Structure 1
């Protein structure tokens, strides 16, 4: 947990509360922490110049320098976004949390972002209607930017590259540990699921050639349930550090398959993609697109990752939580299979 800088907190609260703060008291609660990222909920009382005490809640997100494979500057991307004009592109129905103060600590190679606390519904508490709403609002957001092509967005330097998904897939496919496992006699994954993964490998070049003809849009690239908050019929999306140029539908693959609601996964696949296309088509004509390739993107982005997670879980068995976890990854692969074969 990072130490709270009272001066930075006061600056953030001045903007958040719209008044001059002369003294602040605070408590912290760890929401997420690790070696490279730290998110804290900061609460307390702020005293104004006229002596009024105001209760507040605010989020502090600290990001340390680190190099994500294929995207080494992602750690400073969200800071760059919040200090740019990107926020003006959002709407009331689809937005990110408001930023009240952001700073870059050059000596420690870290960013600190003080932002709005959102008390919304998230994770596996999202209902099917909320999934669908998130998909439609994302499509509407991407469609508007695709149609309007804001000049400053084209000039933003630190965006993940359009071929990130392809490089990520090829990186996993070249990893002998997972590639050889699904082809080995010792593999404990059901044969039809292994064949699904092998088939996508054999068709990957052709599939990417067709995916690369889809519209290029601004992707969030981590659009999964934990980063989506539903609040009063509106969608708030957090964690924009992987965002960049990608292909139409990439974010739908994450929404549906990234540690999602397995029981309803196939249903959400059939509900969310039409909703996403509906939102996008309000701004851009995509009637010529016959195949959306979201199913293929799911396999390309998550197929070998699920194998890796499964292998890691069974290697730690027979502890019951690892057994349950390995079953969850197999169930996810099975649901992906059912999307195409139901």
Structure 2
């Protein structure tokens, strides 16, 4: 949307006097950094098809904030609304203003145990969440990636390989216990403040699905594009560190404990799908398709070798 229109909408809805605004990122949503009267804010415009996720994010953040869990704060409008709607080229989109968080991105390896303990508290607290959580399906986790490969006219035999692997993964993870899951948990979605707390944000992919997926994503020590066998052992080492803290609050079942390597594969299916649906088919070229196919097939073989 036009820069001046956005500034006017923010000034009108929040009674701000914006003297500085800049686009930080335009991917899953458009994120702006802005400043008004010496105070900094973050404004996020969610894509039209993410409206329900945006409204759920607000409910989750308000619940966690009310229960003194360290998360980013939602700034209400002068009418005490938690969001506004802005007109974009794709239609009416939810816009949310957040307080800017001072802090540093934590070292995921050195601080794994401490992060794990706090995430255990998150999952424990969300067991009492009073609102209904969204649930995602095999289409969201696996099948949309396959659909994209078909849209890209990728090698049909390789698509069958991906389908078979996806079915194997889903057959196992769909049997796992369900509860709250952040859905995109990594150190890029948290900041360590001066009190040593990990302030969490970006709950846009939260669901009532698999807490063990959060554990897996925080324990992922693989390279997303380049495959190396050593990544399995590195991930296991990081997992043990993270779980040493997490398990003090919320131990996993044996089935959940063994699921993390499946979720690391699922993350590839999921992230590629998420990016392409926001950025378009042109964001994925033939080289990317083969690279991810090779990565997933190698990971599949490595997990079989390591686990059996």
State if a TM-score over 0.5 links the two structures.
Answer: yes
Cα distance in 2 for partners of 1:43, 1:246 equals: 37
| 2:261 corresponds to which of 295, 298, 302 | 295
Q: Which residue of 1 aligns with 2:25?
A: 32
Contact 2:75/2:97 (CA < 8 Å) preserved in 1? yes
Whether 1:245 aligns to 2:208 is yes
Cα distance in 1 for partners of 2:68, 2:251 equals: 21
With over 3 angstroms needed to count, the CA separation of the structure-2 counterparts of 1:89 and 1:165, relative to structure 1, is farther
Structure 1 unmatched ranges of 5 or more:
12-23, 47-54, 316-322
Contact 2:115/2:245 (CA < 8 Å) preserved in 1? no
Whether 1:81 aligns to 2:25 is no
Cα distance in 1 for partners of 2:15, 2:260 equals: 45
Q: Which residue of 2 aligns with 1:113?
A: 96
Report the CA distance between 1:276 and its aligned residue.
Answer: 4.4
Report the CA distance between 1:29 and its aligned residue.
Answer: 2.0
Report the CA distance between 1:235 and its aligned residue.
Answer: 1.6
Whether 1:98 aligns to 2:63 is no
Cα distance in 2 for partners of 1:221, 1:292 equals: 18
SS in 1 for 2:33: strand
User: TM-score, normalised to structure 1's length?
Assistant: 0.63
With over 3 angstroms needed to count, the CA separation of the structure-2 counterparts of 1:128 and 1:37, relative to structure 1, is same
Aligned length: 283
Whether 1:203 aligns to 2:162 is no
Report the CA distance between 1:302 and its aligned residue.
Answer: 1.7
Q: Which residue of 2 aligns with 1:57?
A: 40
Q: Which has the higher strand share?
A: 1
Cα distance in 2 for partners of 1:301, 1:174 equals: 16
Contact 2:23/2:33 (CA < 8 Å) preserved in 1? yes
With over 3 angstroms needed to count, the CA separation of the structure-2 counterparts of 1:110 and 1:81, relative to structure 1, is farther
Aligned positions of 1:263-342 closer than 5 A: 265-266=231-232, 269-286=235-252, 288-289=254-255, 291-303=257-269, 313-315=284-286, 329=292, 333=296, 336=299, 340=303, 341=305
With over 3 angstroms needed to count, the CA separation of the structure-2 counterparts of 1:114 and 1:67, relative to structure 1, is closer
Q: Which residue of 2 aligns with 1:20?
A: none
Moved more, 219-228 or 326-335: 326-335
| 1:215 corresponds to which of 162, 177, 183 | 177
Cα distance in 2 for partners of 1:107, 1:180 equals: 36
User: TM-score, normalised to structure 2's length?
Assistant: 0.69
| 1:168 corresponds to which of 141, 146, 161 | 141
Report the CA distance between 1:314 and its aligned residue.
Answer: 4.2
| Larger Cα-atom Rg | 1
Q: Which residue of 2 aligns with 1:318?
A: none
With over 3 angstroms needed to count, the CA separation of the structure-2 counterparts of 1:140 and 1:174, relative to structure 1, is same
Report the CA distance between 1:245 and its aligned residue.
Answer: 0.3
With over 3 angstroms needed to count, the CA separation of the structure-2 counterparts of 1:285 and 1:220, relative to structure 1, is closer
Moved more, 261-270 or 113-122: 261-270
Q: Which residue of 1 aligns with 2:121?
A: 140
Contact 1:130/1:230 (CA < 8 Å) preserved in 2? no
Contact 1:39/1:62 (CA < 8 Å) preserved in 2? yes
Contact 2:117/2:248 (CA < 8 Å) preserved in 1? no
